[in-house]
Amino acid sequence: MADRRYTVSRALLEAMREAGVTYLFANLGSDHTGIVEAYAQARGDGGTDALPELVLCPHEFVALSAAQGYAQVSGEAQAVLVHVDCGTQNLGGAVHNVSRGRVPVLILAGLSPVTAEGELPGGRNEFIHWLQDTADQAGIVRGYVKYAHEIRTGRNARQLVHRALQIARSEPAGPAYLLAGREVMEDTAPAPPGGPDAPGQRQWWSPVAPMALAPQVADEIAAALAGADAPLVVTSYLGRDPAAVTALTELCELAGIGVIESVPMWMNFPAGHPLHLGYQWSTTTQNPLLADADVVLVAGSDVPWIPATNRPSPGARIYVVDIDPIKERMTLWHVPAARYARADLATALRQVTARVREQGGLDTAKVAARAERLAGVHRAQRERWAARERPAGDGTVTPEYLVACVREAIGPDAIVLTEAITNYPVVCEHLQPSRPGSLFGSGGSSLGWAGGAAVGAKLAAPDRTVVSLVGDGSFLFGVPASAQWMARRYGAPSLTVIFDNQGWAAPVMSALMVHPSGATAAVGGGTGFAPEADLPGVAAAAGGAYAATVSEAGKLPVALGLALAEVRRGRSAVISVHVPPAAPPPSGPHHPAPVDPGQKGDSW
């Protein structure tokens, strides 16, 4: 007779579902016998609704990136299942991204069985169980997760799933990592109190409620902003909460405050708003708007400026308001602020706006004059950018023209994922995102996020078009064969546009910033990708994607239109667009002339 025990594996999956997890992004192994069995039983019984939907992920980096993309778009934490130490290691830099990006996710990993002589069901019976026995599996990710804990008994396994998700979701949000040995996952679990779908379970484990500013701090910031001559907001990730975008807009309009986005990985402030004063990245020059500010509110930022090259004046009064105001998880971090406050940004900004109104200290004529002056700065900036939105003289594509064409083709409602690296600034300046939740970056720096994140984003928002703008290097980092296969299998098509500069521009740029007239400047950085890989062809082969390569600017709008039509019909599309090369091709005896392998897909 079939074994119909109610196992800990089943209980773990039910607890995830109770906690609002829709998808389990999984890469399976011998540690997951109980999980495989639980899904099989549920399929046999027609009871899969009690479990998260199983999404097979051929690579763990893609699995975690997909869970990240889903959570960034929907705000809902998902779960990832990985195989012992091997799968945990393959999460790789995606753990860095969810950690730095403050994205909630539950990661569950099996542990090698802890018995070997047949003492318990699930004990060692395959050679790998000795090889996968490691001293400190959680140590692989401990530097990045908020919570790491081994489930040692099935008696409280459900509770630990809820606790891990509660910690992951509470701000500052991030990853939680649970481990369980195979014997525990195979053990019989106690029946859940009140049945698997016991109502009310979820509310007992809600994340910590949003935190407000202390009243005297709200007063102080409001008075400083109202009395300033040149107040400025700098933000990077305030748009994690769309309500904070609205709250910031209201405060800025009331008090005539300009906004600079520094290293934006979210849409933080409408790009078309006259108080939007542009973006800053790893700039080598001082931003005059930052230098002129007398009061600076840093509202949600890890890197509001690069102090060695670009900073506020020493006399500026700086306030840091953030859910993570002094970055306890970074070893070196300092902004010379008058006050640091931990608060939910939407709540804090509403408080400050209310206090500005109640204090009555605003000089409305001064505010209007300032707003008009800033609108002039905004306009001049946009005119400069618009002038760059044309092809190069020889008819090839410039990054600015590429983003302008994408903007026109996709419209304002698309979800754009950016991993454009040296073209990050170009994406922001020419995409001009104005809708909260319309632009996302990884929040970290481990490349390849967009491949999986696009799948997660589409699962979270099936009615919206998902578009990734990525470097050619970043495309390859994203394990495209896995990501594109998942997109087809799970009906999550998206458009990927590759800034194909045939190599890594960023490391060369970094070298030139430190060695402006060194050998790299003279002979190049050697990071070109010749012979060129057929990147769209990878997507076509693995996921049946529409593939095209574009070299002529004049053909770009048509190619984008065709690709988008394919995406709307349910098929992913990948377009590689040739932009000026990152590095000249290598030459010499170690680099024979490449043989052209030919390309799959359309060539324009």
Ligand X SMILES: Cc1ncc(C[n+]2csc(CCOP(=O)(O)OP(=O)(O)O)c2C)c(N)n1
CA distance 564 to 406: 10
State the residue for tokens 């859940």: 192
Question: In the complex with ligand X, which residue's Cβ is closer, 61 or 70?
Answer: 61
Cα-flanking dihedrals φ and ψ of residue 136, to 5°? -150, 75
Question: In the complex with Mg ion, which residue's Cβ is closer, 293 or 582?
Answer: 582
* Omega cis (within 30) before 531: yes
The contact pattern for ligand X, residues 425-454, with x = CB under 6 A and - = no contact, is: --------------------xxx-------
Which residue number is nearest to Mg ion in terms of Cβ? Answer: 471
Rg from Cα positions in the chain: 26
CB of 448 to ligand X, least distance (A): 6
Interacting residue with ligand X among 87, 93, 425, 525 (CB under 6 A): 93
CB of 473 to Mg ion, least distance (A): 5
CB of 463 to ligand X, least distance (A): 29
CB of 467 to ligand X, least distance (A): 16
CB of 348 to Mg ion, least distance (A): 39
Burial pattern 144-167, b for ≥16 Cβ within 10 A else e, equals bbbbbbebeebeebbebbbbbbbb
CB of 449 to ligand X, least distance (A): 9
State the residue for tokens 């049946």: 544
Interacting residue with ligand X among 104, 274, 473, 528 (CB under 6 A): 473
Q: Which does 432 bind (CB under 5 to 8 A by kind): Mg ion, ligand X, none?
A: none
Question: In the complex with ligand X, which residue's Cβ is closer, 433 or 471?
Answer: 471
Within 10 angstroms of residue 47's Cβ, the number of other Cβ atoms is 13
Question: In the complex with Mg ion, which residue's Cβ is closer, 11 or 582?
Answer: 582
Does residue 472 belong to the site contacting Mg ion (CB under 5 A)? yes
CA distance 416 to 427: 10
Does residue 477 belong to the site contacting ligand X (CB under 6 A)? yes
Q: Which does 498 bind (CB under 5 to 8 A by kind): ligand X, Mg ion, none?
A: none
* Omega cis (within 30) before 207: no
Judge contact between 549 and 597, C-beta under 8 A: no
CA distance 60 to 301: 29
CB of 447 to Mg ion, least distance (A): 10
Burial pattern 489-498, b for ≥16 Cβ within 10 A else e, equals ebebbbbbbb
Query: Candidates 130-138, 341-349, 352-360, 577-585 — which segment interacts with Mg ion by CB under 5 A?
Result: 577-585
User: 453: burial class by Cβ within 10 Å (0-12, 13-18, 19+)?
Assistant: buried
Instruction: Tell me how long the chain is.
Output: 604
Query: Candidates 63-71, 300-308, 331-339, 503-511 — which segment interacts with ligand X by CB under 6 A?
Result: 503-511
DSSP lists the bridge partners of residue 602 as 548
H helices of 361-471, in order, are 364-387, 399-410, 424-431, 449-460
DSSP 247-272: HHHHHHHHHT-EEEEES-SB--S-TT
Pairing of strands 105-111, 78-82: parallel
Interacting residue with ligand X among 205, 440, 504, 604 (CB under 6 A): 504
**Which residues within the stretch 565-604 sit at the binding site for ligand X (CB under 6 A)?**
582
Size of the site for ligand X (CB under 6 A): 19
Question: In the complex with ligand X, which residue's Cβ is closer, 23 or 499?
Answer: 499
The contact pattern for ligand X, residues 378-417, with x = CB under 6 A and - = no contact, is: ----------------------------------------
CA distance 447 to 93: 8
Which residue number is nearest to ligand X in terms of Cβ? Answer: 471
Size of the site for Mg ion (CB under 5 A): 5
| DSSP summary character for residue 49 | G
CA distance 224 to 234: 15
End-to-end Cα, the chain, rounded Å = 62
Nearest alpha carbon to residue 100 among 419, 449, 445: 445
CA distance 111 to 206: 28
Question: In the complex with ligand X, which residue's Cβ is closer, 27 or 474?
Answer: 474
Judge contact between 413 and 435, C-beta under 8 A: yes
CA distance 570 to 567: 5
Q: Which does 97 bind (CB under 5 to 8 A by kind): ligand X, Mg ion, none?
A: none
Q: Which does 447 bind (CB under 5 to 8 A by kind): ligand X, Mg ion, none?
A: ligand X
Question: In the complex with ligand X, which residue's Cβ is closer, 100 or 276?
Answer: 100
Interacting residue with ligand X among 335, 345, 421, 553 (CB under 6 A): 421
Judge contact between 446 and 91, C-beta under 8 A: no
CB of 582 to ligand X, least distance (A): 5
Does residue 471 belong to the site contacting Mg ion (CB under 5 A)? yes
Question: In the complex with ligand X, which residue's Cβ is closer, 444 or 537?
Answer: 444
**Which residues within the stretch 505-544 sit at the binding site for ligand X (CB under 6 A)?**
505-507
CA angle 233-237-238, nearest 5°? 60
Q: Which does 446 bind (CB under 5 to 8 A by kind): Mg ion, ligand X, none?
A: ligand X
Q: Which does 352 bind (CB under 5 to 8 A by kind): Mg ion, ligand X, none?
A: none
The contact pattern for Mg ion, residues 490-529, with x = CB under 5 A and - = no contact, is: -----------x----------------------------
Question: In the complex with ligand X, which residue's Cβ is closer, 147 or 529?
Answer: 529
Q: Which does 221 bind (CB under 5 to 8 A by kind): ligand X, Mg ion, none?
A: none
CB of 2 to ligand X, least distance (A): 45
Nearest alpha carbon to residue 348 among 219, 173, 207, 168: 219
The contact pattern for Mg ion, residues 425-464, with x = CB under 5 A and - = no contact, is: ----------------------------------------
CA distance 405 to 189: 56
Question: In the complex with ligand X, which residue's Cβ is closer, 113 or 441?
Answer: 441
| Strands of the sheet with 53-56, listed across from one edge | 53-56, 23-26, 78-82, 105-111, 175-181, 147-151
Binding site for Mg ion (CB under 5 A): 471-473, 501, 582
- The site for ligand X (CB under 6 A) is made up of 93, 421-423, 445-447, 471-474, 477, 501, 503-507, 582
